[in-house]
Amino acid sequence: MKLSFQPLDLKLKHTFQIARETRNVQNNIVVQLKDKDGISGLGEAAPTSFFGEDVNSVTKVLGQCVDLLKNADPFLVEDISTSLKSKFPNDVAARAAIDIALHDIIGKKLKIPLYKFLGLNQPETKTTSFTIGIDTIEKMCKKVEDAKDFPILKIKVGIKNDIEILRELRKITKAVFRVDANTGWTVDEAIKKLNIMEDLGVELVEQPFPVGSIEALRKVKKHVKIPIFADEDVKDSKDIPALSDAVDGINIKLMKCGGIREAIRMIHTARAHDLKIMIGCNIESSISITAAAHLTPLVDYVDLDGHLLVTNDPYTGVTVDKGRLILPEDNGLGVSQKAHKS
């Protein structure tokens, strides 16, 4: 297969702030694989510095993959994924891009959408949350008003006035709230805030503490009713067993785990440990968001709004109707490039 790749700089509609960082642009890489029959597949890497990746590291890995994939059979996706993981264990976003492109090719060669290749039912797609990043209370209220069509809002928290913010937002919307502290709380803060948030319609909380704080998670779980989901703490399937008694669920992201194959392993591992499952994303285009959307029939919660937070997504794939994800019926991912406006 021929591998090519190019940068994709996604411009955010609003400055995106979470507990640990702020940004206006997300620098991604788009991958294209073309097999000997001329059938091509698209993939995307959305690297994050939190996991030690950026566009330079992704570009370096993809450059090394050009020769590695030259004679590869796209149907041997498991062998390819295993080989790349052994060579590039920490380059998960780069591996995810190749994994997504391989699945796109397979669907196109079989002339079926990816979800059908995975044995799933398209009508069982879920409703995504819409993310409200940290900002002034006035600006966060405006963002909530702009997101009035979404019945579920994911509110970024992890700062001193979390409760004040949620109280003000609750005055203007009846949407379900999910909160994401992005490692920004202490144990005492989490217990105090979550017990208050229970009365503010908060459905769940993501990653309240820094990675590795398993005892803190266990302690908070004993003192609060709101379900706790691990995000940064759980990269792939091997991380799940140790967290199984400390959290209620996990957030799976293709860019954390290395792609669709590992995401499915994570889903089965989590189910075996009686955990709930969310599928989430970074700031991404419709390529990788659509890839993740094909897995939504297997999960309980969906947070796939990364493509909705940008102004210049050059691709079209999964669509959103009042929060509900609608998968494309085209073969493979069902993603295509938008027509250029003249």
Whether 58 and 135 share a structural domain: no
Mean pLDDT of the chain: 94
Confidence (pLDDT) at 64: 96
Check pLDDT > 80 for residue 156.
yes
- Cβ proximity of 231 and 251 under 8 Å: yes
Q: Are residues 167 and 293 in the same domain?
A: yes
Question: In which element (H, E) is residue 32 found?
Answer: strand 22-34
> Do 72 and 98 touch, CB atoms closer than 8 A?
no
pLDDT digits (tens, 9 = 90+) for 12-41: 988 776 766 677 899 999 999 999 999 999
Let me know whether 129 and 101 are in one domain. Answer: no
The amino acid at residue 25 is V
Residue 342 lies in a domain: no
Query: With pLDDT > 70 as the criterion, what percentage of the chain qualifies?
Result: 97
Judged by DSSP in three states, 251 sits in strand
Q: Is the predicted pLDDT of residue 121 greater than 90, yes or no? A: no
Q: What's the total number of domains in the chain?
A: 2
In a domain, 230, yes or no: yes
Last residue of a domain, one of 111, 130, 152: 111
Contacting residues for 238 by C-beta, under 8 A, at least 6 apart: none
Q: What is the pLDDT of residue 15?
A: 75
Give me the CATH number covering residue 38: 3.30.390.10
Give residue 342's pLDDT: 44
* Domain match, 22 and 164 both: no
What residues contact 138, with CB distance under 8 A and at least 6 apart? none
% the chain with pLDDT above 90? 89
Domain that holds residue 233: 117-337
C-alpha gyration radius of the chain: 19
**101 and 176 both lie in a single domain:** no
User: Pick from 76, 111, 146: which residue ends a domain?
Assistant: 111
Q: Do 200 and 318 sit in the same domain of this protein?
A: yes
Which of 111, 128, 145 terminates a domain? The answer is: 111
Do residues 129 and 175 share a domain? yes
pLDDT of residue 19: 60
Query: pLDDT tens digits for 243-290?
Result: 999 999 999 999 999 999 999 999 999 999 999 999 999 999 999 999
pLDDT 10s digits, 102-115: 999 999 999 999 99
The tokens for 158 are 């992890």
pLDDT band (50, 70, 90) for residue 341: low
b/e burial code for range 172-184 (CB count within 10 A of at least 16 → b): ebebbbbbbbbbb
Nearest to 98 by CA among 236, 4, 234, 26: 4
| Bigger pLDDT: 52 vs 241 | 241
| Same domain as 138, residue 19 | no
**Co-location of 85 and 140 in the same domain:** no
Query: What's the pLDDT score for residue 340?
Result: 67
Tokens of 202: 């908060």
Domain shared by 74 and 215, yes or no: no
Helical axes 92-110 vs 55-68, angle rounded to 10°: 50
Return the CATH number at 140: 3.20.20.120
* Average pLDDT score over residue span 69-91: 96
pLDDT tens digit sequence for 170-218: 999 999 999 998 888 999 999 999 999 999 999 999 999 999 999 999 9
Q: The tokens of 107 are what?
A: 């669907």
Say if residue 282 is in the same domain as residue 330. Answer: yes
pLDDT at 20: 65
